[in-house]
Every structure is written in C-alpha cells, then in structure tokens.
Structure 1
Amino acid sequence: MADNTKFVLFFLLLSSSSPCFGTKQDIRCLKSVQGSLADPGGVLRSWDFENDTDGYICRFTGVECWHPDQNRVLGLRLGNIGLEGPFPRGLQLCSFMTAFDMSGNNFSGPLPEHIFEQMAYITYLDLSNNSLSGVIPAGIANMTYLSTLALQHNQFDGGIQAQLGNASQLISFNVADNSLSGPVPDSLHRFPAANFTGNPGLCGAPLDKKCKKSFMLLHRINDASIIGASAGFILGFVLAFYFPHKFLFCGRLQPYTFRVCG
C-alpha cells in the first residue's frame, strides 16, 4: 500500500471514530469471524478474548493492527491454515481494515453481493486457492482503494463484469483457473493473458482465443440495452416534466387523459 494512501486512511480512522468505539467494533469483528468459520487447525481458537489490555488482539495470529497498543485491525492475513465455510461474517465491523488475505483455505459458496460495503477501505483482497463459486460481484468495482484482487483457482462462473476494470487503483487482477465465460472486458485488457487462463469459456484479448460472433453480438446488445434503457428513462422524464397534460393513463380498461399539473 502506498504511503499516501495509508496516511489518508489513518487520518480518517483518527478523525471519524473514538478510540473506544473503534476498539469495541474491531473486537466484535474478530469474534464474528471466529464464530462463522470451521477451524480444524485451531488457529482461530487460539484467539483469547478474555483480556482487557490495550492492543491484545494485535498479538492474535494473522491480525495486523494500526498500532500495537490499539485494538484496531489494519489487516487479516489468514492464508493456508485450513479454514472452512462460507465467506466470513462481520467484516464490516473492522471498519478500517485495508488488507484481507484468506488464500489457500477451503472457503466455498458465493461472495456477498454487496461485499464492497463490508470492506470500504480495502486495498488488498486475496481469496485465491479456495472453492468459492457463483458470479464475481460487479460491486467490487466500488472498492475505491482496491489495488490487488486475487481470485484465481476457485470455481467462479458467469461473465466478467466490465465495471471491475474501472476500479481506479487496480494494478493487479487475477481470475485464472475458474469457470468463467464470455469476452474479457476491454477495461481489463491491460492485464496479462496468464491472469485469465484456465477458464475454457473466456475469449478475446489478451487471450489468443477469439470470441464467437454470438458472444460479441450479445455483448453489444447488452451494452445497447443499457444505453437504450437509460436514454428512454431520461426522455420519458423530460416529456413528463414539460408536457404533463399530454400523458395518457388507463383506469382499468378505459383510457382517459389525466392532468398532472394545474
């Protein structure tokens, strides 16, 4: 993480939450993570919350803090320790967490649709080498500070949403070895082909596999539908605003003219 980004986040942390509030929230966050996952290796069971000293959670395995004497979580790095279950709960309570590494575990099931609301300040997200499935949420693009997204070696399917490439800080993106299909969005062509391989249904640059015409046509239709729907909404709004007396409404089966404005 760049020094200036860390400074901004640290400033936000200090200015927008009291020490007591931040401490209690982050402790609740870790308790929720611990309670929502199976832990065959017992790593999370070693987290002992029967403590009231400053910074005690900073000594937990995998927990990084903003300051060793404050119970505020900077990052969770719990890769390759055999954790099992769905995506963990309660992460939104770690309000200023910037790094989340759960790679090399046995997570399964989909990612939350609104995952970005749980990780507002995340810069590093590594969920690679698990068994996560379903579509990759387009809302990840709303993670304003995200610079690294590692989702390789999972079971994600469906297409890659073009919005994902619009994350302004994204410098590393990897979805290799999943079950994704369709064209690679133009917004992601800047990443190497190796980061998309292992998805038999993916096509288009930077991969060597060309897309079928049906794929490209569907892609254009989807884009055109979005543009057309937006234009139609705007046109309808303008007409309703300037010519309200011209609108025709139906009451049951009998049409009649209804004046909206006097």
Structure 2
Amino acid sequence: MADDTKFLLLFLLLNSSTLCFSTEQDIQCLKSVQQSVTDPNGVLKSSWNFENNTVAFICRFTGVECWHPDEDRVLSLRLGNLGLEGPFPRGLQYCTSMMNLDLSNNNFEGPIPANISREVPYLTSLDLSYNSFSGSIPQNISNMTYLNVLSLQHNQFIGEIPRKFNLLTRLSEFNVAENLLSGPIPSLLAVRFSASNFAGNQGLCGSPLDDCPPSKRRWRPVRIRLHKLNNQSSIGAAVGFVVGFVAAFYFPHCFVCSERLRAYVVRI
C-alpha cells in the first residue's frame, strides 16, 4: 500500500506541470473513443458533447471520472453495460492520466491491442469481462505492473495464459473463466487464485485445476528424397539390363573366365 501511495504522489507531481497539454490530449482521447465504437443506444452520442467549452466539461460525460472536478483529466473511464459494440476502442493512449478502464458487459469483439501496456501504462484496473473479445491474451499486459484488477472472464480468448503474468505481483483480482484458453496455469497465479477464476476453459490444466497430462513424444515422418532419373537415363538402364541378362543367359562362356566359376553358372 505504501508503494502505491508513493507511485500516486509521484504520478501527480510529474503530470502537474503539463496540465494544459494533458487536457487537450484527454479531449482527443474521448473523441477517438466515441468515433471508434458503435453506440446503438446513443448513450455516448447524447452525453458526450464536445461543443461545450466550459471548464472540466468532459467530467460530466457519462462514464467519465476526472482527477478533479475542475480539471479535464480522465482518471477513470467506466463504460460498462452501455450496449457498446465494435473493436477495442481507439485513442486511449491520449488519456495519459487514466488509471481505471471498464468496458465490461458490452458487445465488443476482436483482439486486444498487442501494445496495450504502451497505450494505458498506468492502469490499476482493467475490466473487459462479458464481451466477445477474441485472439490471444497479449503478453504485453505483463508490463502493466500497477494492475490490481484484471478481469477477462466470459470472452473468447484462445491460447495460453502468458507465463509472464507471474510478474503481476500487485494483482488482487484476476479472472479468465469461461474462455477458450488452454495449457498450464502460471505458477504464481495458481497459488493466489481459486479454481473458479479459471473454470470454463476446457484446455486449461494444472493447479488449482486438474493436472496437466504428461507430454507425449511425437514421431515425425522423415521424408527421404530420391534423385529422379530423367527419361533417357531410365530407358538406357532398362535396355542395358535386358541386353546383359540375355547375353549372360545364352553366352555364359563370355562372362565366366574361370573353370571354377563356370560351375556356378546355372542354365534356366
């Protein structure tokens, strides 16, 4: 907890000198998010009005929480259960002070950006649960060292849980249940979280789930490449064999020079 407090104070100190610049970036961040998602219920369209130029106007947007009521700097973006659709929102890298991102209970689909830790490096909470996100879970998430909460349950993620997730030592909540994951569970996650946090993935194995099956050595067929003979050489070899056989059959004395060896010539 003391380390988290120090980080927060240092973070605020570093960002205080660039307040105006951050304000412009945060506005750009929300504009990009609004443009990149499908909003069938019109929630963002009706609430996110960028024509308003009053101080901290974005702090009154639905799902937007600012660091301070008088500052246009996004602390949290909570867009859960709004019926939003489309790919992972774009432009989040401009919300340079954001620490919480909640996209849960929507209809988002497609992969998570492979460089997500560069887009939102200071997140302490990332909730993408109950969507249709797919593809592999980015190993890059392991660089988000301030994460306390990582909720990825009820999606369509495939592949293994990255082993580097053992580096996420601050995690107090972690859930990947009901996906399409496979392979062994990283050791430290297995110790810290219960089986329910990994349930519903038929391919996952290891503590706290069932043991992984022993690895089997697979035999691979080896292809032996034979040099192909061209047509002329094949015909020549065949003719030579026939001529040699006929000559040896009818004229054995031409091929056997020794009387001892003549005894071994057998006429058919």
Asked if Structure 1 and Structure 2 have the same fold, meaning a TM-score greater than 0.5 normalized by the shorter chain, the answer is yes
Match of 2:126, as an amino acid?
L
Match of 2:57 in 1: 56
- Identity rate, percent: 58
Match of 1:160 in 2: 161
Aligned-residue offset at 1:210: 1.9
Contact 1:83 1:106 in 2 (8 A): yes
What is the TM-score with the length of structure 2 in the denominator?
0.76
Deviation string 1:36-77 (CA, Å, 9 cap, x unpaired) is 000001111020001221111000000000001100000000
Match of 2:140 in 1: 139
Distance 1:4 1:213 in 2: 41
Match of 1:31, as an amino acid?
K
Match of 1:199, as an amino acid?
N
Deviation string 1:84-126 (CA, Å, 9 cap, x unpaired) is 0000001010001000000000010000111010111100000
Which secondary structure state, in structure 2, belongs to the residue aligned with residue 165 of structure 1? helix
Larger-gyration structure (1/2): 2
Aligned-residue offset at 1:171: 1.3
Distance 2:85 2:138 in 1: 21
Aligned-residue offset at 1:7: 6.3
Q: Following superposition of structure 1 onto structure 2, how do residues 151-230 of structure 1 map, counting pairs within 5 Å?
A: 151-189=152-190, 190-207=192-209, 209-214=210-215
Contact 2:145 2:167 in 1 (8 A): no
Q: Following superposition of structure 1 onto structure 2, how do residues 50-89 of structure 1 map, counting pairs within 5 Å?
A: 50-89=51-90
Distance 1:29 1:19 in 2: 15
Deviation string 1:181-223 (CA, Å, 9 cap, x unpaired) is 011111211211000000011111001x2211128x89xxxxx
Is residue 5 of structure 1 aligned with residue 7 of structure 2? no
Which secondary structure state, in structure 2, belongs to the residue aligned with residue 67 of structure 1? coil
Structure 2: unaligned runs, 5 residues or longer: 219-268
Aligned-residue offset at 1:173: 0.7
Distance 2:123 2:160 in 1: 24
Contact 1:38 1:85 in 2 (8 A): yes
Number of aligned residue pairs: give it: 215
Aligned-residue offset at 1:14: 4.0
Aligned-residue offset at 1:81: 0.7
Aligned-residue offset at 1:83: 0.3
Match of 2:203, as an amino acid?
G
